Amino acid sequence: MLAVLAPGQGSQKPGFLTPWLDLPGAEARLRWWSALAGLDLVHLGTEAGAEDIKDTARTQPLLVAAALLAAEQLPMYDVGVVAGHSVGEIGAAALADVLTPEAAVTLAAVRGREMAAACALEPTGMSAVLGGDPDEVIAAIEAVGLYPANRNGAGQVVAAGALSSLEKLAAEPPAKARVIPLSVAGAFHTPYMAPAEQALATVAGGITTGAPTRILLSNRDGAAVDHGPTMLQRLVRQVTAPVRWDLCMQTLAEIGVTAVIELPPAGTLAGLAKRALKGVEIVTVNTPDDLAAAKDLIARHGAAPSHEPTLQFRVVVATAAGNFTPADDVAEGAEVRNGQVIGQVSTRQGAVEVTAHESGALVEWLAHPDDPVAPGQPVARIGGGL
């Protein structure tokens, strides 16, 4: 199984989109998305300097556009899993067909603009904490009134909050850990971004979503989300919620991902995957010259396409790791309705309900009582017909 990953803010570099404009239709695509974002994405991706593209309001739609532009050159129908880091999660939602590319770029532009405005309300920032015992690091961050905004795995946690508290953390770092201030506008993924979340929710209310066409992982908890409206709600909530990229990588391992492609500007997520997912093949796509290697990886690790008529159905997946139990009142062949609970996953934190997001016949169970399941693992098929 192969996963395609979309990077987040901080991965951008001046001129990184320049070689992509040589592809037929690429510049026109960026011009169209520029109109939606209210920004000149062509200029920002080719001629703008580092300071210009560091601006949150500009960076976020630029990164989403870059990921989508590159993905349009790949056989995505053979890709089984998609995920994105922070704003990259909006791009991933588009790659899973939950959002249209136009909706994704528009949402990213609103998100970036509103988060930049929230950053200006009071002096906040972020610092990377590298190394140390994970539990001790989180405890030290919270002890000085900060938030663990990003938990990236591989010994990387990002603390966010008031600048005075960040200075205190740097003066007294956790044992065996280094604290490195980050050049960002404010405390992303914390309650300081509440005004941005509220503004984004207003816009998101007008967006029509689709059902995911492949496994789509959420930054919130690494779980697979199989319902478009639920994913959109999570994208809005993510503005103030921590990014649990460590749990996303854990899920990639649990569902048996064997290869990873990182979309441009690539490198950061590939580095984390290299340390956390041993033995997984990784390709970084930064220029069109990298597309051949990415297509080869998809051919070897992706799903084989079929053009034969097949039975159409919706797959219901587990959203947490644990043991699956079907609902007592649902049997194969029974009619189920949209939103009906058809089972639950027993986890160490408690039971997590599994619900149908389509109405139709439960064709078959793909998991049985007490079967261990991973996030994103299919547990039932619903529907039928050619």
The catalytic residues are 86, 189
Of 132, 129, 131, 127, the closest CA to residue 160 belongs to 127
By DSSP bridging, strand 335-336 and strand 156-162 are unpaired
Task: DSSP letter for 173, please.
Answer: P
Say if residues 17 and 263 touch (Cβ distance below 8 Å). Answer: no
- Taking the C-alpha atoms of residue 276 and residue 279, their distance in angstroms, rounded to an integer, is 10
Residue 160, strand partner residues: 126, 147
Residues with Cβ < 8 Å from 267, sequence gap 6 or more? 7, 11, 284, 286
**What CA–CA distance (Å, rounded) separates 67 from 285?**
10
Please report, for residues 14, 272, 306, 384, the alpha-carbon distance to residue 59 in angstroms, rounded to integers and kept in the order given.
11, 21, 38, 43
Output the six-digit token pair for 52. 């210009």
**Sign (positive or negative) of CA dihedral 140, 146, 152, 157:** negative
